[in-house]
């Protein structure tokens, strides 16, 4: 898509800044050889990785641990036809280091779902892309 005054691509730093401003995004992964998308709350961590907190026995953990996934978050205003979208692509892995798990337990994210056996899943930000739409007039 060509860049215009109303549309622009975002650099990595701007993408990560925007991700840090929203609490919910979507994990895009493969389930039974088909694409699947799941909304989740998250926290942006050191180095720009995305961290999720979920149940150890969840279908999500089984599907994404050790796999390359995409994570997307956005914010749009329909009235002004403006907003942004950021996609992080990278390998997802359950955090197994006890010290790292403890750090994340204190720093968040907190799961929005009740659970007994929570684990943290980190999605490395190997590829970060984004775009911003600053508002366009409708064409009729």
For 113-138, write each residue's pLDDT tens digit.
777 788 999 999 999 999 999 876 66
**Domain topology for 7-128:** Pnp Oxidase; Chain A (2.30.110)
Q: Which of 73, 72, 75, 109 is nearest to 89 (CA)?
A: 72
Predicted TM-score (pTM) of the model is 0.88
Give the model's pLDDT for residue 140.
Answer: 52
User: Please, which pLDDT band fits residue 10 given cuts at 50, 70 and 90?
Assistant: very high
The four Cα atoms 53, 54, 60, 63 give a dihedral, to 10 degrees, of 70
């Amino acid at each position: 898509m060509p860049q215009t005054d109303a549309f622009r691509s975002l650099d990595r730093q701007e993408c990560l800044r925007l991700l840090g401003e929203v609490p919910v995004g979507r994990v895009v992964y493969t389930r039974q050889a088909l694409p699947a998308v799941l909304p989740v709350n998250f926290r942006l961590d050191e180095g720009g990785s995305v961290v999720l907190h979920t149940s150890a026995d969840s279908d999500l953990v089984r599907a994404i641990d050790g796999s390359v996934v995409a994570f997307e978050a956005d914010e749009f205003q329909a009235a002004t036809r403006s907003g942004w979208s950021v996609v992080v692509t990278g390998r997802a892995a359950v955090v197994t280091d006890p010290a790292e798990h403890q750090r994340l337990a204190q720093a968040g994210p907190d799961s929005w779902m009740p659970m007994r056996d929570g684990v943290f899943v980190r999605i490395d930000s190997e590829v970060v892309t984004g775009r911003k739409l600053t508002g366009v007039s409708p064409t009729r």
